Structure 1
Amino acid sequence: MFDKAILVLRGVGQIAAFLSAMLSRSISFRLKLLRHSLTSSTAPPAGEPLNIVIIGASIAGYHAASTIAANLPPWLGYRVVVVEPRDHFHFTWVLPRFCVVEGHEHKAFIPYAGHLPAGSLDDGPGGAPSKVAWVRDRVASISPTAVRLAAGGADIPYAFLVVATGAGAGDALPNRVPADGKAEGLELLRRMQARIRDAADLVVVGGGAAGVELATDAKSKYPDKRVTLVHSRDAVMHRFGPRLQAAARDGIDALGVRLVTGDRVVSEDKDRRVAVLKSGREIPCDCLINCTGQRPDARLVAALSPASVSATTGHVLVRPTMQVRDPALPNVYACGDVCAPDPEEDSTAVVAQPNSRSAMRQAMVAAFNVLDAAEGRAPSNVYRPNWFDGVIKLTLGLDKSVSSVGDGKTELLFRAKDKDVALMVDGVWKRLGATPFEDDDTFLSKVKTKI
């Protein structure tokens, strides 16, 4: 009983610390602006601004860009340059649900720019560069001083670099939308909905959150459909505590989803309409959906500094300051799913559960350290993986879910009846500064193809 109360209090403390850090920075920045306006008439430095380049604008990169832009003193002569190929923010948590349920797929694509400070994409007085430049492209390579764009090969020099390339590059639905444009992404989701709707024997591979959610959603929406979930481990949700594993198993069984554990799919015979398992077992299958885990997209850092990438997990290894482990690259940071703690810095540190909480905390640390370094101070903000980052809400059909909170010793479950089939995604739109569910081309009109 006391363990659970302590767990809750620690969670509240973590949230309070996060909000306090944001508030402290905001107050400090406003005081700097006030002091500067009272004591100096110096205009921003002439010439081209120094670039703080951020590669990727999923939750980590987008939050880092927003935090830096909101707290960047204009007299320092820096600007934020975001390089991101997609035209909308992809909210990946709802993808398993929207692969099954029709009519809500547009809600997974949130317009960019709303999370940035107002006017930061607009040119300054007299044609001065904007505080934030958004380049719709991919980065082909990085050097110690510049990033090279894939389209046209232009180089963008940087004073600081934040790598937020995430995980799952090349993955397909339901883990990621393999499309840069919203229109193509919507079409891919609708095709997936049709595949699942028309299937008689659906086989889902992978018993992590995406696989469990898609399998239970499909069985909940189509009770007469035969749905099989295949997982190579002995228990679904094996990265989490035993109580969540049991709750997931109960939800799967209650809906009538067939569960195969300790085995894996090795091939699909479409002519015979079967999935073939490693054990030799064959399962009727006319629709196979792969929901297996995602690998960090660390290719750019691996080419620049091979020693900064884990040979076992593929993560970019970072110090607690979110700087990459290579001492020759003190101005290069990484945050989000692409990175993990450097075991040489802390042998007890663990990889954070990939979710928005850990990504945002890492992004905040990286952003604050970049801001400090831009003002000539040594990076001193640190990120430590915390049990609270592992909080998860797992859907088990269209109207049920279970949330899990645990620190490895104590585990709390909160079961709920869900009324919103769209998983309250409107709240995420609002938090990212967008009006649910309105879309316009204002942001796209300010996007650049080069700097």
Structure 2
Amino acid sequence: MAGKQESGAGKRVVVIGGGVAGSLLAKSLQFISDLTLIDPKEYFEIPWADLRAMVEPSFAERSVIHHKAYLTNGNIVTSTAINVTENQVMTADGRSIPYDYLVIASGHKEPYPEARAERLKQFQSDNEKIKSSQSILIVGGGPTGVELAGEIAVDFPEKKVTLVHNGPRLLEMLGPKAAKKTLDWLTSKKVDVKFNQKVHLSHIAEGSKEYATSSGETIIADCHFLCIGKPLASEWLKETVLRDSLDESGRLMVDANLRLKGCKNIFAIGDITDLKEMKQGYLAQKHSAVVAKNIKMLMSGRNEDKMSTYVPTSKAIAIVTLGRANAVAEFPFLTLSGFFPALIKSKDLFVGKTRKLMGLH
């Protein structure tokens, strides 16, 4: 700790949430502050690698990373934040953690287990579920549902895959051209795609293989995977001093410096922010870089006017993988599909690049 005091910092920084944004920020501030990362799980997970890990469980060995592997000089509290005051964060395990600077990066609510070993077992069990099924139902036609359908169709071409989406087309956050190319590819792999239907999952009897849809159709499948959006992990903030910083969707309203509006020392990054842009991992990484600079500047006592600003990306690059050798990529003025966009992402899904960012080989 002496090094921290000599640097003139020694300030207490608390980061809530160990996803893409929070983990990277914690890593970058750990040697210049008294840093605490609060996360309900003991690991950081590269989320865009999850679907590959379901068809190839050994892939998760590199994409599910112990927080302590990259956070060698910070405090890790494996618990959930339940309250925040002007100078402290309270956790579910009864701790009160004081802060000089607070960063909320809690993202979406994920029902993941606390231990890394248990998470790896989940991928193994998903893999066994896929292998032992002849027919698989995927509910949701966003990036997650599409990518999972692609991974299964390529690795297990003998299985019947049905994808049901409650909307008129796939990938509604992308343009119609990307959606059409994706549908064509899935259809060429014999994935049966059904639109404008919901699946009544609550009505399924134990052991039944019959799934009823909102249009009265019955789909027969040995198992299903639910790939729809998860709620934001911000409900707890409604009972805290930050309740007025939430918009009607439960996102935290931030200014150009990524501080909560009206707060000098509280920031928010990642999916929980109200920034008008696509929620993507590489943008979350940009958020953490801006806030790392701003906290360093504030800790050094420099003028606030010099703080870095973040400009939301209205036209982001989006790449949706379709198995191991294909992808659809939407650039600001161009949509490509096939092998070339796959070269960018599909092979290792940026796992090597992300590990390098975290200081790991």
TM-score by length of 1: 0.72
Verify: 1:89 aligned to 2:44, yes or no: yes
- Among 12, 20, 26, the alignment partner of 1:65 is 26
Q: What is the CA distance between 1:166 and its match in structure 2?
A: 1.1
Verify: 1:383 aligned to 2:310, yes or no: yes
Q: Would you say the 8 A contact 1:241–1:411 is kept in 2? A: no
- Among 137, 142, 155, the alignment partner of 2:96 is 155
Q: Would you say the 8 A contact 2:135–2:221 is kept in 1? A: yes
Q: Please give the root-mean-square deviation of Cα atoms over the aligned residues, in Å.
A: 2.4
Quick one: which amino acid aligns to residue 107 of structure 1? R
- Among 321, 324, 347, the alignment partner of 1:398 is 324
Using the alignment, how far apart are the partners of 2:310 and 2:238 within structure 1?
Answer: 22
Partner-residue secondary structure (3-state), 2:79 = coil
- Among 66, 79, 88, the alignment partner of 1:137 is 79
Q: Would you say the 8 A contact 1:167–1:337 is kept in 2? A: yes
Q: Would you say the 8 A contact 1:274–1:283 is kept in 2? A: yes
- Among 298, 301, 309, the alignment partner of 1:373 is 298
Q: Would you say the 8 A contact 1:295–1:314 is kept in 2? A: no
Partner of 1:269: 204
Q: Would you say the 8 A contact 2:54–2:127 is kept in 1? A: yes
1:403-441 Cα deviation digits (max 9, x unpaired) = 2212xxx23325316587654633432332223xxxxxx
Partner of 1:199: 133
- Among 181, 185, 197, the alignment partner of 2:119 is 185
Partner of 2:152: 218
Using the alignment, how far apart are the partners of 2:270 and 2:7 within structure 1?
Answer: 32
Q: Closer, same or farther in 2 for the Cα pair 1:421/1:196, shift >3 Å?
A: farther
Partner-residue secondary structure (3-state), 1:398 = coil
TM-score by length of 2: 0.88
Partner of 1:292: 228
Partner of 1:109: 64
Using the alignment, how far apart are the partners of 2:170 and 2:225 within structure 1?
Answer: 16
Quick one: which amino acid aligns to residue 352 of structure 2? D
Q: What is the CA distance between 1:113 and its match in structure 2?
A: 5.0
Q: Would you say the 8 A contact 2:181–2:337 is kept in 1? A: no
Q: Closer, same or farther in 2 for the Cα pair 1:43/1:391, shift >3 Å?
A: closer
Using the alignment, how far apart are the partners of 1:97 and 1:360 within structure 2?
Answer: 21
Verify: 1:278 aligned to 2:214, yes or no: yes
Q: What is the CA distance between 1:136 and its match in structure 2?
A: 2.9
Partner of 1:440: none
Using the alignment, how far apart are the partners of 2:283 and 2:311 within structure 1?
Answer: 9
Quick one: which amino acid aligns to residue 328 of structure 2? V
Structure 1: stretches of 5+ with no match in the other structure: 1-41, 73-77, 122-131, 171-177, 342-349, 436-451
Using the alignment, how far apart are the partners of 2:283 and 2:139 within structure 1?
Answer: 26
Quick one: which amino acid aligns to residue 224 of structure 2? L
Moved more, 365-374 or 239-248: 365-374
Partner-residue secondary structure (3-state), 2:336 = strand
Q: Would you say the 8 A contact 2:328–2:335 is kept in 1? A: no
User: Pairwise mapping of residues 40-79 of structure 1 onto structure 2 (< 5 A)?
Assistant: 49-69=10-30, 72=32, 78-79=33-34
Partner of 1:411: 334
1:314-343 Cα deviation digits (max 9, x unpaired) = 211111211112x2x3211100011113xx
Quick one: which amino acid aligns to residue 288 of structure 2? A
Partner-residue secondary structure (3-state), 1:317 = coil
Moved more, 156-165 or 376-385: 376-385
Partner-residue secondary structure (3-state), 1:223 = coil
Q: Closer, same or farther in 2 for the Cα pair 1:249/1:134, shift >3 Å?
A: same
1:32-87 Cα deviation digits (max 9, x unpaired) = xxxxxxxxxx9577xx94311111122111222233346x4xxxxx4222222322
Q: Would you say the 8 A contact 2:11–2:299 is kept in 1? A: no
- Among 220, 230, 234, the alignment partner of 2:168 is 234
User: Pairwise mapping of residues 295-334 of structure 1 onto structure 2 (< 5 A)?
Assistant: 295-304=231-240, 305-311=242-248, 313-325=249-261, 327=262, 329-334=263-268
Indicate the percent of aligned positions where both proteins have the same amino acid. Answer: 23
Quick one: which amino acid aligns to residue 161 of structure 1? L
Using the alignment, how far apart are the partners of 2:209 and 2:81 within structure 1?
Answer: 41
Quick one: which amino acid aligns to residue 306 of structure 1? R
Q: Closer, same or farther in 2 for the Cα pair 1:331/1:423, shift >3 Å?
A: closer
Using the alignment, how far apart are the partners of 2:299 and 2:351 within structure 1?
Answer: 36
1:282-332 Cα deviation digits (max 9, x unpaired) = 111221110001222113432222221121x2211111211112x2x3211
Q: Would you say the 8 A contact 1:110–1:434 is kept in 2? A: no
Partner-residue secondary structure (3-state), 2:14 = strand
Using the alignment, how far apart are the partners of 2:115 and 2:69 within structure 1?
Answer: 18
1:140-196 Cα deviation digits (max 9, x unpaired) = 221111011221x121111110001011333xxxxxxx1121110111111111111
Q: What is the CA distance between 1:100 and its match in structure 2?
A: 1.9
Verify: 1:337 aligned to 2:289, yes or no: no
Q: Would you say the 8 A contact 2:107–2:272 is kept in 1? A: yes
Partner-residue secondary structure (3-state), 1:340 = coil
Q: Closer, same or farther in 2 for the Cα pair 1:318/1:260, shift >3 Å?
A: same
Using the alignment, how far apart are the partners of 1:63 and 1:165 within structure 2?
Answer: 13
Q: Closer, same or farther in 2 for the Cα pair 1:102/1:421, shift >3 Å?
A: farther
Q: Closer, same or farther in 2 for the Cα pair 1:277/1:193, shift >3 Å?
A: same
Partner of 1:98: 53
Using the alignment, how far apart are the partners of 1:362 and 1:427 within structure 2?
Answer: 17
